[in-house]
Structure 1
Amino acid sequence: MTIASMSERNVTLPNHYILQIIEIVEHAGVSAEGWLRHLGIEPDKEEEESLVTMPWATFRRFLQDAGRFSKDKALGLMIGERLLINTHGTLGYAAMSSGTTRQIVDLLEQYMVLRTDLLTMDTAEEGDCLQVRFDDNGSLEDVQRPVTEAIVLAIRNILDFTTMGTCDIRSVTFPFDGDEKLAEAVFRCPVAYNQECAGFTLPLTSIDKPLKMANTVSYQEALKVCRQELDKLPTEHTWSARVRRLMLQNRRGFPSLEMTARRFHITPRTLHRRLIDESTSYREVLEGVRHQLAIRYLQTGRMTVQEISFALGYSDIANFRKAFKRWESVPPTEYNRHSRAD
């Protein structure tokens, strides 16, 4: 089984997002024409709603160059500040018409993939807060910071607009270094870097309060369009890919087929049938995710084989060893030495 890496992927983003980054570079006094031609990027300034697809390596270089040209390490925050609710098309309109903050978060959790799949959202109630967490769908390498900061700030902008400036985010965290003082100024709440994960917390006391701009008819119409857009996504957004992303982002154990179907608002029977139509199954997707994570954990060298077995949901370490040998033809204890020899 081949495990896809970021280098083998394409990145698809709304043209408007790309234009915002180009404007940041141009405002820094750099002519973008030759730069974009060299990268092979041709954004259309007349078609902001269109999508731009490029290889991961091109996107990574695009962000690296933008950061260098702007001479600002806070490129992600600069991008995020520009991504207001009206830059997200139908998804933004659906958020604008939502009835509560919780409904907006649920909407974004399911449909953020319409704007980017570089990160996924996951939510959980912890104590008196709703914890919103963001996970990348593969190594974002040295552009993790600008990508993550931009997306988290863009979502904060959506919540701020829909609550008419009363968004009650308690705190924001990021798993890398950053400019805490600047971040707190734009998020308008405490921000901590070098934490376990990227995310923010919302108090449960406020997320179910009715929003003044709520419009049930408009919300349902926009949601219908979002569902249609989701069905039209390319093959990398198949049902098996969506199940795989859900498994990778869930740090509290892999969801069952039933819970996975519930997250997608369909029945387990329907999800099973759709996976069968793609010549796979829930079990096969789970097997692939376990394989990918096992390799990642072994390469970091921070976990024992027993700890990895437990993290991947195996009740018996012998079953993990057997599965790993089936995947890689060597026991997990020999994997790193074997891979270096190759």
Structure 2
Amino acid sequence: MKQVLENVENQFEMFQILDENGEVVNKEYEPDLSDDNLKELMRRMVYTRVLDQRSIALNRQGRLGFYAPTAGQEASQLGSHYALEQEDFLLPAYRDVPQLIWHGLPLYQAFLFSRGHFHGNQFPEDVHGLSPQIIIGAQYTQTAGVALGLKKRGKKSVAVTYTGDGGTSQGDFYEGINFAGAYNAPALFFVQNNQFAISVPVEKQTNAKTLAQKAVAAGIEGYQVDGMDVLAVYAVTKKARESAINGEGPVLIETLTYRYGPHTMAGDDPTRYRTDDLDNEWEKRDPLIRFRKYLEAKNLWSEEDENKVIEEAKEEIKAAIKKADNHPKQKVTDLIDIMHEELPVNLQEQMEEYREKESK
């Protein structure tokens, strides 16, 4: 049985298209993206890096609430999202706000979500998704249900979810992939393995050599991909999506990536559990640097292009935070009012109590 296990684990090799120097090492699988598509993908990555920097600053100023940094994970997040379609349904974790924004969620609403304002969860009708899940792994069981619903309605779309390596230690993770596998539901399950579940290294969470191999127990396809390589993530996601909508069942995708900042801005100090050597090693694999080199070699990207995106992002973020600031403040009566179509007696009493308080 040890030999059987070893044989299984050895099948899950990391898939890569671009190496750390931005050179193609897997020409056969280089995606057929137009020059405009490649530039747009880079634009989104640069924009999201700026958004992360500004969000951290706004959090420190007390202008945002809960925030989980994303720098380092842009290739994993945006490479996967770029392979999706507008009708696909997103069920993100709390670090996956960028995917929701590029899926159509207005930026000012993303800021309101961070502040805990209910309007941050009132998505436009054409934005197919749920609010970022705070409970670790819960989005996996939700995704199985949404995917089954899409299948029963005959939709040619997929339900897509994300969790971190820590999420694979939750029961919801196994229940979600098992349920989706049993019903052959069109779901894509991403595990963004950024090496640490807050402070616990992945090797202390599981004895499995990879997280991708956990797909085997659920009887579904599994892949491990270089999560710092945006083209590799895009290519695997596109293939997995096509497989799912063609009735071949769900897919589990482990992206090997790294978060440069803390787990969240709520007091985590990564210097307590990560070394400078480890940080430096992963920074050499930076997804933006790697993809920038690839595009520069094709004469598709320049410093001028990048500076233009940076300034554009700063201006849009400035306007969005101002719009969030000017949005009507949340009141307790607002929350009570939107909870039920008809308020039960106890909430009717609370509504009157708070209306009186708020009128003073």
Q: TM-score, normalised by structure 1?
A: 0.26
Q: TM-score, normalised by structure 2?
A: 0.25
Greater fraction of residues in helix: 1
- The higher relative CO (CA closer than 8 Å, separation ≥ 6) is in 2
